Structure 1
Amino acid sequence: MLVAFAAAATNAQTVNVGGSIGNGTVARGGSARGVVTLNIPGGLHVNSNRPNSEYAIPTSVRLTATGGRVSAPTYPRGKNKRFQFSNGTINIYEGRVTIPFTVRVPANFRGNTVTVRAAVRYQACTDEVCYPPRTQNITLTARVR
């Protein structure tokens, strides 16, 4: 019974992280918009990248590219919300959150694929408790034409 409860608690705090690069192709010498997507289950929120609290762990996306250069992510504005456990408001994300970036492929790139790796760190919380922070790693690819 305890094992089932622990598994349920782990699944309850899971945020589905995904993403894409443009329509799946990038022109050689060109650029494409990519996105990292967080699908946050109902009843949960994650702290934004600027949560307004020294104790809240911010959401962060670390991007690296092979075959191109990748910009820094552009974080959306969160929503300020007050919780019983905090003195002030905390800036959070809920629901579906998209974090865009740009990938550029040099004109002299000889490969066929550009790869962007994203390490997404977040802390999922309910209105009453925060779970330990997690990092999910994803790999996004696009064909170079």
Structure 2
Amino acid sequence: DIKLTVAVHGGRGTIRQGVIRNLVVRFELPAGLHIYGPPVPEGMIATEVQISGPEGFRVMMPELPPTEKLTLADIAELNVWHGTVDLIYPFYATGELASECRPLDAPSVEINVLVRYQACTESECLLPKTESFSLNLKLDVIDIPDISIHRGHGQRRGSYDGTPALRRLLARKARQNPVGVLLFFVKNLWLRLQALTRKLQIQRP
């Protein structure tokens, strides 16, 4: 039997703003079986993984192991994986999902993973399979400097008072790009309103 698992590596399986974690789709293939990497001829199924999550959940380009070449009679050269195969999908959270400027919207979020593949020997193929997984991942707070914009949000606050540095930064940015500073505050307000909307939706029975 083919063993297929999906797990998050790093940070004890939590999601933090701006921190990259790895979602690992692992195939453990019995001897004699292989799965296909793209591209494949018409009629064959390349291994495909689809990952979805809430707003602010971002999946990066996958890190795939190198395939091996398999040549069969009357068929073009194929890209295959054997044995234990780890398909790695880095992901991270943006400010829409988790921000240092507001409390966490929810203790956890659900991530859905859909895996489609076809396993074959050198003489025959099994039927294509589609398997789905749901992961409930905890949202984690982040380490923040001790400045007013971060206080009271339940994040891990450092002991260093960053207020003087923040004032100097805002003054410098205001001189260089007044509109940009205004847009920063407008975006921050918009993110807070979006977070409040999501929180109310989660609490609604």
What TM-score, normalized to structure 2? 0.56
CA 1:81 to 1:56, structure 2 compared with 1: closer, same or farther past 3 Å?
same
The aligned residue for residue 20 of structure 1 is: 7
Bigger mean CA deviation after superposition, 129-138 or 105-114: 105-114
Q: Percent identity?
A: 23
Which 5+ residue runs of structure 2 have no aligned equivalent?
Answer: 141-205
1:116-143 Cα shifts (integer Å, max 9, x gaps): 2111100111110012211011122322
Q: Which consecutive segments of 4 or more residues in structure 1 shift more than 3 A?
A: 28-31
Q: Report the structure, 1 or 2, having the larger strand content.
A: 1
The aligned residue for residue 143 of structure 1 is: 138
Q: Partner of 1:66: helix, strand, or coil?
A: coil
The aligned residue for residue 123 of structure 1 is: 118
Q: Which has the larger radius of gyration?
A: 2
- Asked if 1 retains the 8 angstrom alpha-carbon contact of 2:60 and 2:91, the reply is no
Q: Which amino acid aligns with 1:124?
A: A
The aligned residue for residue 6 of structure 1 is: none
Tell me, in whole angstroms, the C-alpha distance in 2 between the residues paired with 1:41 and 1:115: 31
The aligned residue for residue 49 of structure 1 is: 38
- Higher RCO (CA < 8 A, seq sep 6+): 1
1:96 Cα deviation from its structure 2 partner:
1.1
- Asked if 2 retains the 8 angstrom alpha-carbon contact of 1:21 and 1:141, the reply is no
Decide which of 71, 96, 113 is 2:59's aligned counterpart.
71
Which 5+ residue runs of structure 1 have no aligned equivalent?
Answer: 1-13
Which residues of 2 match residues 40-119 of structure 1 at below 5 A?
Answer: 40-51=29-40, 53-66=41-54, 68-72=56-60, 74=62, 75-84=64-73, 86-105=74-93, 106-107=98-99, 109-119=104-114
| Residues matched between the structures, number | 130
